Structure 1
Amino acid sequence: MKQSFSIIVADPPYLSQECLEKVSETVSFLKKPGESYLLLLTGAVQHDRAAQLLSLRPCGFRPQHSSKLGNEFRLFTNYDPGLRLGGWEQEES
């Protein structure tokens, strides 16, 4: 399955640096060369790591959970979703 996928959706089970590093390695192994689309659902605390490891930006879409989880979750992408998913979140100046 090496370099077989042009669309990858990842939802890592832990909010740790090590877990996101392993997910990054897996994504690199799975994605096709050239243009690939990556969607990552993880904690907002992973914002900087997602940008550093996978060149991802947060979308305006904010997932909601039925249980009262203490962590805010975000959806990150490596492509501009346009009007979908709330677009990319605007950078604060």
Structure 2
Amino acid sequence: MSDICDDDNPQLSKETKAILEQFLAEKRVREEEMQLLSNSSSIPSTFFEEDWQLSQFWYNEETIDTLIRGALNVTNPTDKIALISCPTLYSKLKSNCGDREINIFEYDQRFKVYGQDFIPYDYKYPLQLPRNISSNYDLVIADPPFLSEECLTKISVTIKHLSKRHIIICTGAVMEDFIKRLMDVKKCDFQPSHRNNLANEFYCYSNFDFDKVIK
């Protein structure tokens, strides 16, 4: 049997080891946070990282607070609220919603940690949804992930299917004419903003006087 030379087992450089150790440490922290979240009855304020591959851009705190204030003011304590492709709102809304039922319709499987509140959703299949939820939600808040007529058209099908009463849609200003033709909504004075300033200007649209309920 021949001896095995140390050269046959390549060694990582100190720099590579440091990068690897940092990556593994961050991975452990994230896994611990996910485990805590899935096992906890309370919702911590930790938010997930944006995934730009999925066209995710999180709202800033002022926008989150304004949308939640509007949502709570326009619904009753036992109403149901649907969030379509806007997971940034979930954590704080859930913490303040009282007995309201919140469902998050989301493509990103990371949000499965929200348990029964999470409903897997792919806008490309707008009616591939659980049975018996047609006209089930007193408020639907949607933020289509892509600024395209195809995406907005398909999400509008989902919105109309789920909605019983109130609708809020946040999307790019470039979609204004199209969304007004597509749905019975008006542009609000309130403008949503994001943590990382986006080049695209965003508007908020609703089928009720959203500006009034947030005052």
Is there any run of 5+ residues in structure 1 with no aligned partner, and where? 87-93
- 2:66 matched to 1:66? no
Quick check: which has more Rg, 1 or 2?
2
Give the TM-score, by structure 1 length: 0.80
Structure 2: gaps (5+ residues): 1-132
How many pairs were matched up?
A: 83
Is the 1:60–1:85 Cα contact (8 Å) retained in structure 2? no
1:35-93, Cα deviation, whole Å (9 max, x unpaired): x110001001111111111111111111222323110011100112253457xxxxxxx
- Do structure 1's residue 42 and structure 2's residue 171 form an aligned pair? yes
CA deviation after TM superposition for structure 1 residue 31, in Å: 1.4
Q: Secondary structure at the match of 2:140?
A: strand
Mean Cα deviation higher: 76-85 or 12-21? 76-85
Distance in structure 2 (CA, Å) of the matches to 1:75 and 1:50: 11
Q: Identify which of structures 1 and 2 has the higher relative contact order when contacts are C-alpha pairs closer than 8 Å and 6+ apart.
A: 1
Alpha-carbon distance in structure 2 between the residues aligned to 1:6 and 1:68: 31
Cα 1:9–1:41 change in 2 (3 A) is: same
Change (3 A) 1:42 1:85: farther
- Correspondence for 2:140 among 8, 11, 16: 8
Deviates more, 1:6-15 or 1:73-82: 73-82
Residue 204 of structure 2: SS of its match in structure 1?
strand
Question: 2:55 maps to which residue?
Answer: none
Identity %: 36
Amino acid aligned to 1:11: D
Moved over 4 A (4+): none
CA distance in 1 between counterparts of 2:197 and 2:158 reads 30
Distance 1:82 1:66, change over 3 A: closer
